Structure 1
Amino acid sequence: MMRILMGAATPVPSPSETVNPDLVTPGPWGFLVIALLAVVVILLITDMMRRIRRGRVRADIREELDAEARAEAGADPDSATDDTDGEAPEHGAPERS
């Protein structure tokens, strides 16, 4: 009785290999899919960065043109007046010249 309460040594099963490791590896098709996915992600990131950079340059040019227009009109170049009269800026396709 005392041996049951103290926790007799129970046999621990030894791990046995039941799965064939050759059947659970990704193989060449898995490598090809992951490599193709990596290339697509790199191309998408490159395109996104190019678009962000282009938008920033256009915004800088637009600010410079607005500042020149205000300076030609005789307005104070340091003032932060907006020509839209309180309207929200238009969000659409950029103007092309």
Structure 2
Amino acid sequence: MTVDPDVVTPGFIGFVAIALIAIVVVFLIIDMLRRIRRAGYRADINEQLDAEAEAELNRREDEAAAAPVTDHDASDDTDADGPAAR
């Protein structure tokens, strides 16, 4: 028995199945691109926040290093002539 190639075709059902698969693939690609873009934005924001936090830490360290060191307790124990007698 031979098969006539004009009679054996996927038909309308085959076309609909392939069209649905193509549409689903397009939507999956769009969703994947959104997720990738969102992850990139989050990474950029996290890098920016880390840089700002490091800059703030460096600023505080610089302010602490530049602040004069005062010892208030030592001035209470001594007078102009030397240590206070107790």
Corresponding residue to 1:34 among 15, 18, 29: 18
Report the identity percentage. 63
Q: Out of 51, 55, 63, which is 1:71 matched to?
A: 55
Query: Where in structure 1 are there 5+ consecutive unaligned residues?
Result: 1-16, 76-97
Which amino acid is 2:23 matched to? V
Task: Return the alpha-carbon distance in structure 2 between the equivalents of residues 33 and 64 of structure 1.
Answer: 47
5+ residue gaps, structure 2, are: 60-86
For residues 26-57 of structure 1, the C-alpha deviation after alignment (integer angstroms, 9 at most, x for no partner) is: 11110000000000001001101100110010
CA distance in 1, matches of 2:7, 2:39: 49
Count residues in correspondence. Answer: 59
| Higher percent of residues as strand | 2
Q: TM-score, normalised to structure 1's length?
A: 0.56
Residue equivalent to 1:56: 40
Q: What's the RMSD between the two structures over aligned residues?
A: 1.7
